[in-house]
Amino acid sequence: MILELLMERIDPQKDHENLKRFQPGRQVMFRGKSYVVQRHTTLASGQAALVLGGENEQFVLSADEFLAGVK
């Protein structure tokens, strides 16, 4: 009970909030190619990221890079 009182609330990062509209299963156009959002993740640096999948590829992309290139 005392530990709960001492812990501060951690607010979600802005990048995580910005990715909420891109839920797994959603199809997106990124740099002129069609991909499916496979899941949300977090990089070792703590930055929000997405795993995108295409026909023959799958890759992790930081939220900043994704949001800059998505249509």
Say if residue 11's pLDDT is above 60: no
- Per-residue pLDDT tens for 18-29? 888 999 999 999
Whether domain 10-69 has CATH 2.30.30: yes
What average pLDDT does the segment 36-59 reach? 92
At residue 6 the predicted structure's pLDDT band, cuts being 50, 70 and 90, is low
Angstrom distance (rounded) from CA 36 to CA 55:
9
User: Which residue's entry shows tokens 């001492």?
Assistant: 6
- Please state the pTM of the whole predicted model: 0.76
What average pLDDT does the segment 46-62 reach? 92
What average pLDDT does the segment 46-58 reach? 91
Question: Domain extents for the chain?
Answer: 10-69
Cα torsion 18, 24, 27, 30: sign: positive
DSSP strands (E only) in 1-71: 27-30, 33-42, 48-53, 58-62
Say if residue 8's pLDDT is above 70: no
